[in-house]
Amino acid sequence: MIQVKSLKFSLKEDGTPVYSLNYKSKEVIKPSALGIKLKEDEDLIANFTVEDIKKSSFDETWQPVWGEEAEIRNHYNELSVHLNQQESERKLVLRFRLYNTGLGFRYEFPQQPNLAHFVISKERSEFAMTGDHTAFWIAGDYDTQEYDYTESKLSEIRKLMKEAVTANLSQKSFSNTGVQTSLMLKTDDGLYLNLHEAALLDYPAMHLNLDDENMVFESWLTPLANGDKAYMIAPGHTPWRTVMVSDDARDILASRITYNLNEPNKIEDPSWIKPMKYMGVWWEMITGMSSWNYTDEFAAVKLGETDYEKAKPNDTHAANNENVKRYIDFASKHGFDGLLVEGWNIGWEDWFGNSKDYVFDFVTPYPDFDVEEIQEYAASKNIEMIMHHETSASVRNYERHLDTAYKFMKAYGYNAVKSGYVGDILPRGENHYSQWLVNHYQYAIEKAAEYEIMVNAHEAVRPTGGSKNLAQPYRQRIGARYRIPIFWGQQAQSRNCFTLHAFNWRAYGLHSRDF
């Protein structure tokens, strides 16, 4: 009988942990080193001995709250390797889970006297390729995923990187061979591999940096503003690192490894989570037909001081009662469930590019938008209104206003919100995918869940299967470039863009998209 997948684990002579992965007796991940580099302390990379090895199997079927499947099977064999670093008297557990469609592994830090609070300066998780594979990649970046996909050999990434990095409202590249996950690969002999992560919580998002001489990818964590990667407390653990492999690309799309590596649903009654088909008052602003801002008179706005009642309307403001009702009528006639309205609230006159902290209050409408009147009209047409919270990447300001904003939503019958994080992050110097921001995104959706509000987050971090436990209710985490960019005067996307997005995003928890 052919063993479809097999995992090998060993220690090098210097005590460095190493793993490899086979598929149908063929090596697909060559021996690859594992370890954690600590700031101002002895690294958890080498000088380990094996203290204990535990093996187990697990098989269950669980029911997702929403999605295209009524049941998902979670079946794996587990290997936990308990390591001891004798000189530092520290312990580390490497946990591996082997599925029919791939592998997940993570680092675990048990409670112990010599490792309580610690700072990670680098994670060294290697993925050693067996050749110069074809890759379907987007450029590594700490702040955006809105790049077109490039198809090339691994050896060609370096020379193609410059043209792969196109202009964005917030971006920060880190390497000429750095790419983002999930990363889809195809070998010369027809095998498909996908590298990603699962259950990203309280940790920075992982990119991959390629050593193109040896064809080895290494994990590359998004830094905090001070350059550190993660502040940790034991007991604790990292997210899972995942490797999917098959000789049929459809298996990658159908795999549920990323869901299964997340914790079970934590919401006792999730009946309020109801996906919908909706349209929005936003594209006419993007195309330049209309505007988000109400007036052109203010070069700068101070919320609570600027008097909009005395301002001259610019007559291009899209989020006005008459225009929004027209959209509601259209949505009702053509079978939509909801309507999103952007630009309804004060502050859009100077919302972007000014590093402004108090940019929105999320509750005060412009003079030409009557929240109660619009809500009543939408209800009469069986259309649910969807709130819009653009933060302008002012994260502290959003957190200060979250409770007030969510209470306002519930008072006026809003059960879902599209949030946005356009621009450079405030506090200044932070990155969209750092540990600090990952924790913010999680805080925002957990707070939303307290109010039974669904969240569709734009410009947030990529999906890692969190819709399983619904600590991330309806969290689409939109950030990839999947819209038609011709409206921004950019070159149209390649024809295979949507196909690649299916493999690189949908398999990891992105059930739906905004077009």
Question: Of 261, 291, 312, which closes a domain?
Answer: 261
In a domain, 226, yes or no: yes
Contact 314, 348 (CB under 8 A): no
pLDDT tens digits, one per residue of 280-337 = 999 999 999 999 999 999 999 999 999 999 999 999 999 999 999 999 999 999 999 9
- Mean pLDDT of the 114-142 span: 97
Q: Give the model's pLDDT for residue 484.
A: 44
pLDDT band per the 50, 70, 90 thresholds, residue 515: very low
Asked if 255 and 286 sit in the same domain, the reply is no
54/195 same-domain check: yes
For 459, the 3-state DSSP assignment is coil
pLDDT at 209 over 50: yes
Confidence class for position 498, pLDDT limits 50, 70, 90: low
Q: Is the pLDDT of residue 474 over 50?
A: no
Judged by phi (left if over 0) then psi (alpha if -120 to 50, else beta), residue 82 lies in: beta
Q: Residues 189-204: pLDDT tens digits?
A: 999 999 999 999 999 9
* Residue 13 is assigned to a structural domain of this protein: no
Residue 102 has pLDDT above 60, yes or no: yes
In a domain, 191, yes or no: yes
> What is the percent of the chain with per-residue pLDDT over 90, rounded to a whole number?
85
- In 3-state terms the chain splits into helix, strand, coil percentages (rounded to 5) of 20, 35, 45
Residue 485's pLDDT band (cuts 50, 70, 90) = very low
Amino acid at residue number 297: E
Task: Look at residue 107 and tell me whether its pLDDT is greater than 90.
Answer: yes
Closest CA to 512 of 327, 329, 274: 274
Mean pLDDT, residues 210-215: 98
Pairing of strands 192-198, 230-233: unpaired
Q: What is the residue-averaged pLDDT of the chain?
A: 92
Tell me: do 132 and 188 sit in the same domain.
yes
Q: What is the pLDDT of residue 68?
A: 83
SS3 letters for 462-484? Answer: CCCCCCCCCCCCCCCCECECCCC
Rounded to an integer, the average pLDDT of 472-484 is: 44
Shared domain for 349 and 412, answered yes or no, is: yes
Exposed / middle / buried, residue 13 (Cβ in 10 Å: 0-12, 13-18, 19+): exposed
Cβ atoms of 436 and 203 within 8 Å: the answer is: no
Q: CA quadruple 456, 457, 458, 462: dihedral positive or negative? A: negative
Q: Coil, helix or strand for 252?
A: helix
Amino acid, res. 350: D
Confidence at residue 307, expressed as pLDDT on a 0 to 100 scale: 97
Would residue 24 count as lying in a domain?
yes
Question: Pairing relation of β-strands 416-420 and 454-457?
Answer: parallel
Q: Do residues 362 and 247 share a domain?
A: no
Mean pLDDT of 6-27: 96
Q: Choose the weakest-confidence range: 150-164, 284-298, 495-509.
A: 495-509
Does residue 507 fall inside a structural domain? Answer: no
Q: Is the pLDDT of residue 512 over 80?
A: no
184's enclosing H/E stretch is strand 183-186
Angle at Cα 434 formed by Cα 397 and Cα 218, nearest 5°? Answer: 170
Task: Give the closest residue to 417 by CA, choosing from 386, 375, 461.
Answer: 386
Instruction: Check whether residue 459 and residue 321 sit in a common domain.
Output: yes
Q: How far apart are CA 161 and CA 210, in angstroms?
A: 12
Residues 439 and 44: their CA atoms lie apart, in Å, by 25
Residue 344 and residue 364: Cα distance in Å, rounded? 8
Sequence-ordered list of residues with C-beta below 8 angstroms from that of 177, at least 6 positions apart, any chain? 157, 158, 161, 209, 210, 211, 212
pLDDT of residue 507: 53
Higher pLDDT, 483 or 124: 124
Residue 147 C-beta-side C-alpha neighbours within 13 Å: 27
Higher pLDDT, 495 or 462: 462
pLDDT of 467: 74
172 in the same domain as 99? yes
Q: Which of the listed residues 261, 289, 314 is the one where a domain comes to its end? A: 261
Shortest CA distance to 406 belongs to which of 368, 444, 366?
Answer: 444
The rounded distance, in Å, linking the Cα atoms of 35 and 247 is 30
Same domain, 433 and 498: yes
The arithmetic mean of pLDDT across residues 136-143, rounded, is 97
Lowest mean pLDDT among 224-228, 460-464, 506-510: 506-510
Q: What is the CATH number of the domain that holds 450?
A: 3.20.20.70
What lies within 8 Å, CB to CB, of 107 at 6+ separation is 34, 36, 44, 92, 93, 94, 123, 237, 238
The model's pLDDT over 54-69, given as tens digits with 9 standing for 90+, comes to 999 999 999 998 888 8
In the predicted model, is pLDDT for residue 483 greater than 90?
no
166-183 average pLDDT score: 96
Weakest-pLDDT range from 100-104, 116-120, 266-270, 503-507: 503-507
Q: What is the pLDDT of residue 5?
A: 82
510 in a structural domain: no
> Could you list the residue range(s) of the whole structural domain that residue 357 is in?
278-502
Beta-carbon contacts of residue 206 (< 8 Å; ≥ 6 apart): 123, 125, 181, 197, 200, 219, 220, 221, 222, 239, 241
Q: Torsion angle of alpha carbons 392, 397, 403, 404, nearest 10°?
A: -80
Assess whether 247 and 380 both reside in one domain: no
Same domain, 294 and 226: no
Query: What is the predicted pLDDT for the residue at 477?
Result: 43
Torsion angles phi and psi, residue 30, rounded to 5: -70, 165
Could you say which of 211, 233, 261 is where a domain stops? 261
Q: Are residues 399 and 289 in the same domain?
A: yes
Q: Is residue 267 in a domain?
A: no
Is pLDDT above 70 for 138?
Answer: yes
Q: Which of 9-23, 249-263, 445-459, 484-498 has the lowest mean pLDDT?
A: 484-498
> Per-residue pLDDT for 511 more than 70?
no
Backbone angles phi, psi at 142, to 5 degrees: -80, -10
First to last CA, the chain: 47
pLDDT attached to residue 503: 60
pLDDT at 487 over 50: no
Measured between alpha carbons, how far is 389 from 382 in angstroms, rounded to an integer?
23
- Residue 217 in any domain: the answer is yes
User: Which amino acid is located at 65 in the chain?
Assistant: V
Q: Is the pLDDT of residue 479 over 50?
A: no
Q: Are 130 and 27 in contact (CB under 8 A)?
A: yes
pLDDT digits (tens, 9 = 90+) for 361-402: 999 999 999 999 999 999 999 999 999 999 999 999 999 999
* Cα–Cα distance measured from residue 97 to residue 333, given in angstroms and rounded to the nearest whole number: 49
Taking the C-alpha atoms of residue 87 and residue 114, their distance in angstroms, rounded to an integer, is: 11
Query: Model-level pTM?
Result: 0.93
pLDDT above 70: residue 494? no
- CATH assignment of the domain containing 57: 2.70.98.10
Place of tokens 């008072």: 411
Number of compact structural domains in the chain: 2
Do both 176 and 319 map to the same domain? no
